[in-house]
Amino acid sequence: MDVKPYIWSVKDFPKPGIDFKDITPLLQEPAAFRWCIQQMVERFRTAEVEKVAAFDARGFLFGVVVAYELGVPFVAIRKRGKLPRETISSYYEAEYGGETVEVHTDAIQRGERVLLIDDVIALGNCMTAGAQLIERLGGVVVGCCSLIEFATMRPPERLQEYEVVSLVQY
């Protein structure tokens, strides 16, 4: 299925020079959203995934459903200050400035196989920060999965040691 028609470009959002990819039309089309979830699940069904971790907030839209479909727990990776218990954090440079993400220290156990999901891989720095959090807790990253990848930004170079799966490339 070609889902690109359901991903709309919004020029100069959130600031001039940015070509934002709006996924809300995709979320409003059940067949397109279902196809995306099925693709993510099928690509990692045999990877012995034990947990799915995803990023606040748009990554949650995919991560929670993929975790449900795989029958495994979901781990929230959130922006600094949003999780209520003890956390570890990782700072990264994003497209719009620096960001810190956190995860609960008890979310992942040593040796657990974790699939990492976000809506977009742009520079690859956010995904790298999430992978570092998982590994600091002793987890094993079995893959990095996204709906969209900006291939022109060459993110896989930053994620060479992981399997990277993106459904749509720009």
Instruction: Give the model's pLDDT for residue 41.
Output: 98
CATH number for region 47-169: 3.40.50.2020
Instruction: Give the model's pLDDT for residue 18.
Output: 87
CA of 34: how far to CAs of 3, 49, 160, in Å?
11, 20, 29
In terms of DSSP H, where are the helices of the chain?
24-27, 30-44, 58-70, 125-136
- pLDDT by position in tens, the chain (length 170): 999 999 999 999 988 988 999 999 999 999 999 999 999 999 999 999 999 999 999 999 999 999 999 999 999 999 999 999 999 999 998 877 899 999 999 999 999 999 999 999 998 999 999 999 999 999 999 999 999 999 888 776 779 999 999 999 99
Catalytic residues: 58, 95
Instruction: Give the model's pLDDT for residue 153.
Output: 83
Q: What is the model's pTM?
A: 0.95
Instruction: Give the model's pLDDT for residue 132.
Output: 97
Best CA proximity match to 144, nearest among 136, 134, 152, 6: 134
Instruction: Give the model's pLDDT for residue 157.
Output: 76
**For 31, what's the count of Cα atoms within 13 Å in the CB-facing half-sphere?**
4
Instruction: Give the model's pLDDT for residue 65.
Output: 98
Instruction: Give the model's pLDDT for residue 112.
Output: 98
